Structure 1
Amino acid sequence: MSKPDILQMGPYPDWDQVPLEQSFHMHRYFEAADEAGFLADVGPKVRGIATRGELGANASIIAACPNLEVISVYGVGFDAVDLAACRARGIRVTNTPDVLTNDVADLGVAMMLVQSRGMIGAETWVKDGSWAAKGLYPLKRRVWGRRAGVLGLGRIGFEVAKRLAGFDMEIAYSDVSAKDFAKDWEFIADPVALAQRSDFLFVTLAASTATRHIVGAKVIEALGPEGMLINISRASNIDEEALLEALETGKLGSAALDVFEGEPNLNPRFLTLPNVLLQPHHASGTLETRQAMGKLVRDNLTAHFAGEALLTPVL
């Protein structure tokens, strides 16, 4: 039996690429000099797409693959996949939830600690001789016992809140409705009200058209000049222009960000700000999690072409 043809949207590590090549006929879209010509050539043969959360698969790519059956996303976010086009043609979509949840939550909490305690600047203070020449590092703010808000209490938001509870923080959250499993935490439906009562606001929402710029100027200003915004979700959930303006003018105290519009070519205004911690979209970036994500991508493709139930279906 011939191997199913798979359109590969972006590179994977060798530990994923080698087994993919063993099981499937991989067509590397990301290496094509002439993308349109490449799609015209291989598109009719393609039965599956292997992609990453930030790359997705848009309507034109899906249309170029008339025999497409399944899209397997490496990542929990699937907002870059045109789900309407998939629904119209009965194309299945999978992602890789759960396997990355705890690592993403870990990084979110670590970012809060690093930014609140000024650890990047403190290391520089030691290395550049300022400690010896100038004395003690300027005082920063504590974390324990303060108020945390979690915007989106899904898998990742729940794990973030669990970790914050270990710091004896006052925890509240916003979601579409109150959660039975979160009775120890305060439910606040309005994101603006959540931000207003929070010292730290974690954005852990899945991205969609409904959540685009849900963290806009009103939420950011409600968080205020002493507040910190931590985003480990998707860039589209935050109005970056409003965020930059608030960071530059002091309307927002600080931010810790793992995702950006247009990444890796983020807005250069971020690079000069003293009150923002920047990370290269690596919240799931551990060897253990990335290997588990790659395996789940392959397992979903294998299950589909074997006529078995998908492990983690989105559609």
Structure 2
Amino acid sequence: MKPKVVITHWVHPEIITNLSQYCSVVANPTRETLPREEILKLAQDAEALMVFMPDRIDDAFLKACPKLKIIAGALKGYDNFDVDACTRQGVWFTIVPSLLAVPTAELTIGLIIGLARQMLPGDRLIRQGTFAGWQPHLYGMGLANRTLGIVGMGSLGQALAQRLSSFEIDILQK
């Protein structure tokens, strides 16, 4: 019999297909966060649990799921997960420290460009039907030869600085 794995949030189908070769997978098919009670019901006889940012694991949860051997966090931080309780119960707890650095850096650059080039005001004019052709009030500014400060050069700060280097931006780091 394959070990049971519960995935608390929606994942891409290929993840389920890959895991299904080795495990009996019970996955949340929705894009919604399952209530804790429902996750507990699904996980009470599971050996593994894949958790995400909205989930919370504590001593009571672990006691209700005595077969758990590993909790795989598809996340970077773990503030809402009692790692000490996992250790006491003999449950491995894992995270992916660099999981969101690159996507967050890319989103940050998108926001910087959107603000610098006044993309939202321009979009608003077009959607409202009031865009009457070129006018000088949406000039904005480019990123080349500008200076940007990054406070904290952890994995996110480094990913951001690396991607911004192609824009010829002077990076100040603290």
Q: TM-score, with normalisation over the residues of structure 2?
A: 0.75
Residue identity in the other structure for 1:3: K
Residue identity in the other structure for 1:58: I
Q: 1:154 to 1:133 in 2, by over 3 A?
A: closer
Deviations 1:271-301 (A, max 9, x none): xxxxxxxxxxxxxxxxxxxxxxxxxxxxxxx
Work out the CA distance in 2 between the residues paired with 1:135 and 1:113: 20
8 Å CA contact 1:125–1:137 kept in 2: the answer is no
Deviation at 1:126, TM superposition (A): 3.7
Superposition map of 1:1-315 within 5 A: 2-28=1-27, 36=37, 39=40, 42-43=43-44, 45-52=45-52, 54-59=53-58, 60-98=60-98, 100-132=100-132, 135-173=135-173, 187=174
Q: 1:98 to 1:39 in 2, by over 3 A?
A: closer
Work out the CA distance in 2 between the residues paired with 1:102 and 1:154: 12
Helix, strand or coil for the counterpart of 1:122?
Answer: helix
8 Å CA contact 1:20–1:26 kept in 2: the answer is yes
Work out the CA distance in 2 between the residues paired with 1:72 and 1:124: 42
Q: TM-score, with normalisation over the residues of structure 1?
A: 0.46
Identity of paired residues, percent? 21
Give 1:231's aligned residue: none
8 Å CA contact 1:131–1:137 kept in 2: the answer is no
Deviation at 1:108, TM superposition (A): 1.5
Work out the CA distance in 2 between the residues paired with 1:167 and 1:38: 45
Work out the CA distance in 2 between the residues paired with 1:134 and 1:78: 49
8 Å CA contact 1:9–1:55 kept in 2: the answer is no
8 Å CA contact 1:9–1:30 kept in 2: the answer is no
Deviation at 1:80, TM superposition (A): 3.1
> RMSD value over aligned CA atoms?
3.2
Residue identity in the other structure for 1:39: L
Deviation at 1:104, TM superposition (A): 2.9
Work out the CA distance in 1 between the residues paired with 2:42 and 2:159: 45
Aligned residue pairs total 171
Deviations 1:114-172 (A, max 9, x none): 12211122133345443317834434344333332223312221010122333333323
8 Å CA contact 2:9–2:29 kept in 1: the answer is yes
Helix, strand or coil for the counterpart of 1:56?
Answer: coil
Work out the CA distance in 1 between the residues paired with 2:9 and 2:61: 14
Deviations 1:220-271 (A, max 9, x none): xxxxxxxxxxxxxxxxxxxxxxxxxxxxxxxxxxxxxxxxxxxxxxxxxxxx
